[in-house]
């Protein structure tokens, strides 16, 4: 784990240096570039080449460290097991919703406690009352 922390600190330093080198470079608008001596290594051309090379090296280091840190992070977390100590278990039979409409199930209550009769007696057909003539109907006579 200490290697991971060390590489993370190195990557932070590389990132800060990369930001600094990019800001120092002379852009088309002038930027934050600082002029150097007119001759030798730190001439305008030499400084531009040095800063371009430094940017390339620092960017390559940053990407490389990112890949290494990602590989280390996967290696350290893949050996862990998932903690299921807080996992809730579902009940064996879900409780029926008291507000849901009945779905063909018999109602539970005291009526179920008594046995039903074996066969009910057939009911006598009801006699219909004689039809009364509708006074508004066309066929009714007064």
State pLDDT tens for residues 12-34: 999 999 999 999 887 655 545 55
> For the chain, what is the mean pLDDT?
73
Q: From residue 117, how far is each of 101, 107, 120 by CA, in Å?
A: 28, 18, 7
Q: Return the higher-pLDDT residue of 51 and 113.
A: 51
Predicted model pTM: 0.45
Q: In the chain, what percentage of residues exceed pLDDT 90?
A: 27
Domain ranges of the chain: 2-25+34-77
């Amino acid at each position: 784990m200490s290697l991971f922390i060390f590489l993370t600190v190195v990557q932070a330093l590389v990132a800060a240096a990369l930001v600094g080198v990019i800001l120092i470079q002379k852009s088309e608008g002038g930027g934050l570039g600082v002029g150097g001596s007119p001759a030798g290594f730190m001439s305008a051309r030499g400084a531009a080449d040095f800063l371009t090379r430094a940017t390339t090296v620092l960017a390559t280091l940053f990407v490389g460290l990112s890949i290494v840190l990602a590989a280390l992070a996967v290696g350290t977390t893949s050996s862990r097991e998932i903690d299921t100590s807080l996992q809730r278990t579902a009940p064996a039979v879900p409780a029926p919703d008291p507000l849901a409409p009945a779905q063909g199930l018999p109602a539970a209550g005291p009526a179920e406690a008594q046995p039903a009769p074996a066969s009910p007696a057939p009911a006598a057909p009801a006699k219909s009352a004689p039809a009364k003539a509708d006074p508004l109907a066309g066929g009714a006579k007064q």
